[in-house]
Every structure is written in C-alpha cells, then in structure tokens.
Amino acid sequence: MKLNDYLNPKNSLVLFELGKKLDFFINLYNLNKFPKVLMLTGQKGVGKSTLMNHFMTYVYDRNMYDLKEKKINNNSNFYKQYINNIFPNIIYLSGDFYKNIKVDEMRNLKSLLTKTSISGEERFILFDDIELFSANSLNSLLKIIEEPSKKDFFVLINNKTKPLLETIYSRSLEVKILLKNEIRIKIINNLIDVNDLQVSIDFKNINLTPGNFLLFNSLSQELKLNYDQEFTYNLNLILKNYKKEKNKDMINLTFFLIDHYFSKPKIKNKLNSQKLFEQKSYLNGQIDKFVKYNLNQTSLINAINNKLLNG
C-alpha cells in the first residue's frame, strides 16, 4: 500500500478502540438527536476522521457495515463511490485548501452548500482542519451553520493546530477525542499488524498519535533515517528534502526528531529539566525560523550543533 493510502482515513476499514464513540453517535442518529453541527476535537492523527468515516458508512451503507466488528465492506457500491469522492451526499472540505480562499471561491462554496441534497436524503458536510480555514471563510460559513437545512449535518474536525473562532465553538456540540497511552500503543500495534509494517521509529516512549506514526514511520523509511545516528545528520537529511519538495510533513518530522532526541535516556540524564526545556525550545524555534525566513540550511545546522555541544 502506498503512503497516501495509509494516510487516507477512508482506507481504515477497521475502527480500533473508538467503538464506544461510534455507538454513541449511532444511537444519537437513530433517535433523531444527532447534532446539526458536531465538532470533533483532538490531536491530528488520533482517529477523528476515521471515526466519522465509519459513522457515515453506517448511515449510508448499514446493511453492508459490520457494526459488531466495526468493519467497513470495501466491496460495497457505497464504499467505491466514497473512496473516489463521488458519493453525492457527503461533501468534504479541507482547511488546508480554504485557508487562502478567494471571494469567488467562497461564493461557489456557499452555493454548493445551499443546494438541496440528492434525492432529498440527509447530507453530511465535513470540514477537515477547521482551524486552518481563513477568518473570511469561517465568517461566511457561520450563517449557513447557524441556519442549516433540515437534511444537512455539519461535522467539524478540529486538530487544535491553531486557535479557532469562539463563534464556531458556540455553534457546535464539541466532543473531544482523547487516547490513553496504553490505548494509543494498542492502536498503533494493530495498524502495524493489519498493514504488515516495518517499524523504524520509537512510538512507545513518545506521545505519537496513530496517524502521525503512520506518516513519520513511512517518511523515515523513505529518507532512510537511522535514529541511532547523530541528530544533526538526520536533521540535515530531512531539511534537505524539505528544501527540494516543500513538503510541510517534513517539518513535522523534524519536530518528531527533536522529541525523539530529547527522549533518549542519555540526554535526559545529562540535562536537568530546565536545560532540557531550554534546548528543546531553542531547536523548535530555529526550525520555525528556518521555514518562515528561509534560513540558510548550513548555518542553521551549525548553530544547532553548537547549541547542543555547548548549551
């Protein structure tokens, strides 16, 4: 399976450890009490989109959905339409796209949402990365969210990567998705088994969500990173790739690399808590500046290496 396939929540045919949440939403739906605007809040990769994919599969394909095992049938007509983004009554909108939306595009979006759903059936509109939508986009959408049609339901996926307008919170029923550490590890182990993955990163000693594990593990293999090598050697490889591809996932991988470095026992034993926090904050800040100001990579590596050696 390709990287994009692993990372697409629609390919998560089995729902691990979130079954009670799914049962809760299904019960609300069957009682006609499902909220018109639902916000799922939690770290990116914790399973929010996967949870909603299973819920919507139940709604539109319940005869083919294995509710007991929480498993999607990938041979159903619904799934084939859904995986190819052509199922008409589910609209998916990504904040990563709409963060720089233009006025004309906003009008098109509003027009799309105000059209009656196909066959008059219920329609779900998903806003992924809702916190990344521009303020203009959110303000334009507020009126639609405040006055939804009888058949429309809005699901907002909030990854908490930046603050979100309070008015969005006030119009939503917020449900937080949290994973205890033992559950997090169990889900990752299940993903490893189901996908027959080779593990290249430490996920047990670092608070890594299942989704981010899949991403960082795959990227680490792609770059042939060896986490036993010098920190700056790996950092240089990642930043070199970022300069070439401009893939923001590489920057997130550098933050994982930093977390991994400071989680090593020899580093934790060498530095007191204040010094560890100071150095880690310095490295994170330098990476932010590298991206924002397009800093020289060699100078950055030298500065970081000097900081690690001399404090």
Please report the domains of the chain, with CATH numbers, ordered by start residue. Answer: 3-176 (3.40.50.300), 181-310 (no CATH)
pLDDT at 224 over 80: yes
Going by C-alpha positions, the residue among 249, 248, 235, 242 that lies closest to residue 300 is 235
CA distances from 220 to 127, 130, 215, 236, 249 (A): 29, 28, 9, 13, 11
- Tell me the longest C-alpha to C-alpha distance in the chain: 68
Mean pLDDT, range 258-278, rounded to an integer:
94
Mean pLDDT, range 236-257, rounded to an integer:
96
Radius of gyration (C-alpha) of the chain in whole angstroms: 22
- Rounded Cα–Cα distance for residues 136 and 133 (Å): 8
Task: Judge contact between 218 and 6, C-beta under 8 A.
Answer: yes
Residue that wins the pLDDT comparison between 311 and 245: 245
For the stretch 40-85, pLDDT in tens is 999 999 999 999 999 999 999 999 999 999 999 999 999 999 999 9
Please report which confidence band the pLDDT of residue 142 belongs to, taking 50, 70 and 90 as the band edges: confident
Mean pLDDT, range 248-256, rounded to an integer:
96
Mean pLDDT, range 99-113, rounded to an integer:
68
Q: Specify the length of the chain in residues.
A: 311
Residue that wins the pLDDT comparison between 50 and 134: 50
Provide the whole-model pTM. 0.92
Judged by DSSP in three states, 257 sits in: helix
Count CB atoms within 10 A of the CB of residue 48. Answer: 27
User: 175 - beta bridge partners?
Assistant: 40
Among the residue ranges 43-57, 112-126, 215-229, the one predicted with the least confidence is 112-126
Beta carbons within 8 Å of 255's beta carbon, 6+ residues apart: 284, 287
- Rounded Cα–Cα distance for residues 164 and 145 (Å): 15
Taking the mean position of all CA atoms in its chain, how far away is CA 95?
11
- Rounded Cα–Cα distance for residues 50 and 187 (Å): 13
